């Protein structure tokens, strides 16, 4: 177990190094930078600023400096916002997390319930309806459904605010603030839940169908247990077990924000921060964000693997 783990960790670190080099090279070789785009500056001032930010050094040297700092926990300074990248992340990431956590929770809850029922009633009209719903959810263009719901529910019907986290100019506090945030997050949460629902429901449905065919389900019925007990005590636990591995894969989306949704709903999360910085070519921030996602992805995969081994007593190393 421990040699397996240390090998695994070593490989993770190597992959992250390689990924950082790749990402850095890509950003560095994209023509244009933060300063070029600023038309207010004179040519001399531009050269001066480049010198200060170290943008005129060769790519590899810049990468070396970035890496050295990154290893010391310093991901640099955002050029546009003049704040440390990590501090900016800390400011924005929790907004992203709020959206992601609520919608992930809802997605799982709804997916489990619908998945279990439609597996139990396989081939019924309900099941067919669920299958069509699953395909629909998996085929939605995220930005389009976001825009469509804003147009319908926020612009036309005016039930919900169209975007942002609080009403512009509002300085509500306490419960009023909470209420405002909840109103603003309803639409993005609905869209994110809808988008995640398809594949997860499908996963639980097919997992449950497999479990319901097992011998121990027959045993449970032979004991005279009610169908509810058979379903929720005997079958669901077994169907949920492999799903634990999915928790790890949720990691990037939980903390990495959602670029598209946050952009569409003007939600002040890291995803929107990234989009804003992208137009400005604010490389330290872009680099930091991309690395954050890469790290979360790698950690998530590791976590999944570990959870699976912990959860299922039958899997041994």
Partner 1 sequence: MKPLLKVENLHTEFRTDEGTVKAVDGISFQVRAGETVCIVGESGCGKSVTAMSMMGLVEEPAGKVTGGAITFGDDDLLRLNKHELRAIRGHELAMIFQEPMSSLNPVLKIGEQIMEPLMLHLKLKRKEAAAHAVELIRQVGISRPEQIAASYPHELSGGMLQRIMIAIAVSCSPKLLIADEPTTALDVTIQAQILDMLRTFKESSGMSLLLITHDLGVVAEMADYVIVMYAGKIVEEGEVTALFADPKHPYTRGLLKSKPVMGRRTEELYSIPGQVPNPLELTPSCYFHDRCGHCMEVCVSREPLLQPLGNGQKAACWLYEEAKIHV
Partner 2 sequence: MRTNTVSAAASPKRSRERRSSLLGQSLRKLMHNKLAVAGFAVVVFMTLLCFIGPLFSPYTDNRINMAMMNKAPSLKHWLGTDALGRDIMTRVMQAGRISLTVGLASMLLSVFLGALLGAISGYYRGITDQIIMRIADLLMTVPNLPLLFIFGAMLSEWKVPTDYRMYLVMLMLSAVNWPGMARMVRGQMLSLREREFMQAAEVLGLRSSRKLLHHLLPNIVPLLIVMATLNIGGAILSESVLSFFGLGVMPPTPTWGNMIDAANNMIDFQNHPWLWIPPGVSIFAIVIAINIFGDGLRDVLDPKQKR
DSSP state of 77: B
Told to check if 274 binds partner 2 by CB under 8 A, we report yes
- 3-state class (DSSP) for residue 316: coil
223 binds, among partner 2, partner 1, none (CB under 5 to 8 A by kind): partner 1
Told to check if 237 binds partner 1 by CB under 8 A, we report yes
State the CB neighbour count (10 A cutoff) for residue 78: 24
123 binds, among partner 1, partner 2, none (CB under 5 to 8 A by kind): partner 1
Closest to partner 1 by CB, 275 vs 311, is: 311
Told to check if 176 binds partner 2 by CB under 8 A, we report no
**Shortest distance, position 112 Cβ to partner 1, whole Å:** 16
Closest to partner 2 by CB, 3 vs 139, is: 139
Told to check if 294 binds partner 2 by CB under 8 A, we report yes
x/- track of binding to partner 2 for residues 1-40 (CB under 8 A): --------------xx-xx--xx--xx-xxxx--------
Stretch that binds partner 2, among 2-10, 177-185, 233-241, 271-279 (CB under 8 A): 271-279
Q: Single out the residue of 4, 94, 105, 144 in contact with partner 2 (rule: CB under 8 A).
A: 144
Stretch that binds partner 2, among 51-59, 82-90, 101-109, 127-135 (CB under 8 A): 127-135
Q: Single out the residue of 53, 188, 202, 303 in contact with partner 2 (rule: CB under 8 A).
A: 202
Told to check if 205 binds partner 1 by CB under 8 A, we report no
Segment 210-229, which members bind partner 1 (CB under 8 A)? Answer: 214-216, 218-227
**Token match 């309803």: residue?**
186
Told to check if 214 binds partner 2 by CB under 8 A, we report no
Q: How far apart are CA 98 and CA 257, in angstroms?
A: 9
Residues in the interface with partner 2 (CB under 8 A) total: 47
Is the Cα torsion angle 158, 163, 165, 167 positive or negative in sign? negative
State the CB neighbour count (10 A cutoff) for residue 119: 22
Q: Single out the residue of 108, 265, 267, 289 in contact with partner 2 (rule: CB under 8 A).
A: 289
């Amino acid at each position: 177990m421990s040699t397996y783990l240390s090998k695994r960790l070593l490989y993770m670190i190597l992959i992250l190094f390689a990924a950082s080099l790749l990402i850095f090279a890509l950003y560095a070789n994209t023509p244009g930078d933060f300063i070029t785009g600023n038309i207010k500056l004179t040519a001399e001032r531009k050269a001066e600023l480049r010198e200060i930010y170290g943008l005129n050094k060769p790519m590899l040297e810049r990468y070396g400096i970035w890496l050295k700092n990154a290893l010391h926990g310093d991901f640099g300074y955002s050029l546009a916002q003049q704040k440390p990248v990590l501090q900016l992340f800390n400011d924005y990431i929790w907004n992203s997390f709020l959206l992601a956590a609520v919608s992930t929770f809802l997605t799982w809850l709804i997916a489990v319930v619908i998945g279990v029922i439609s597996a139990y009633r396989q081939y019924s009209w309900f099941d067919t309806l669920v299958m069509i719903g699953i395909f629909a959810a998996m085929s939605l263009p995220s930005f389009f459904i976001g825009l469509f719901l804003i147009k319908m529910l926020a612009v036309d019907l005016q039930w919900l605010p169209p975007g942002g986290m609080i009403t512009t100019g509002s300085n509500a506090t306490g419960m009023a603030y909470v209420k405002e945030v909840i109103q603003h997050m309803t639409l993005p949460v609905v869209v994110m839940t809808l988008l995640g629902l398809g594949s997860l429901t499908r996963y639980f449905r097919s997992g449950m169908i497999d479990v319901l065919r097992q011998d121990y389900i027959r045993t449970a019925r032979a004991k005279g247990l009610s169908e509810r007990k058979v379903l929720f005590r005997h079958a669901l636990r077994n169907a949920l077990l492999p799903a634990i591995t999915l928790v790890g894969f949720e990691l990037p989306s939980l903390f990495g924000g959602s670029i598209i949704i946050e952009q569409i709903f003007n939600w002040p999360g890291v995803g929107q921060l990234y989009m804003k910085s992208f137009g400005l070519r604010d490389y330290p921030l872009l680099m930091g964000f991309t690395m954050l996602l890469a790290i979360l992805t790698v950690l998530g995969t590791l976590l999944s693997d570990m959870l699976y081994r912990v959860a299922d007593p039958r899997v041994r190393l």
